[in-house]
Amino acid sequence: MIAYVTVGADNISKAERFYSAFLPALGYRLETYHGDLSYILPVEPGQRPLQPDFYVKLPFDGQSASAGNGVMVAFQALSQKQVRVLHGAALAAGGSDEGQPGFRALYGPHFYVGYLRDPYGNKVALFSNDQSEPGREDQHGN
């Protein structure tokens, strides 16, 4: 089980604006610790976390934050509509578009995804894979 994912940021306020535009809508609550951001999913007493926490920190080595090539963090939304809404909110909060929300031919027929870059170049996906929603074939009238 993955316990947490961390990305680097040089400006924590700018990163907070971006990530707080969509993570609270996905159930994460924000905690700050020594100036860093910790987005935590609620866990019932006695239960284990189902998904990893997400941390945004200044790089420990004191160098500038940078994104890894091929690295991406994906967050599951509740619906295709929520993917669209949160993608737009993240763009308005300083992100850049890396792929508008929609279906991709390479993925399953219900996998609906939008891609972003945070202000530091970290790639983020917002996706829904709800079998009860219209799929890729339904969108093309098949």
Residue 86 located in a structural domain:
yes
Question: Considering its fold, how many domains does the chain have in total?
Answer: 1
Residue 66 located in a structural domain:
no
pTM for this predicted structure: 0.88
Q: In which domain, by residue range, is 48 found?
A: 4-60+72-139
Find all residues with CB under 8 Å of 127, minimum gap 6, and list them. 74, 75, 76, 77, 83, 111, 112, 113, 114
Residue 12 located in a structural domain:
yes
Interval 102-132: pLDDT, tens: 999 999 999 999 999 999 999 999 999 999 9
Residue 67 located in a structural domain:
no
CATH code at 16? Answer: 3.10.180.10
Residue 65 located in a structural domain:
no
Interval 18-73: pLDDT, tens: 999 999 999 999 998 888 999 999 888 888 877 899 999 999 898 999 888 889 99
Residue 127 located in a structural domain:
yes
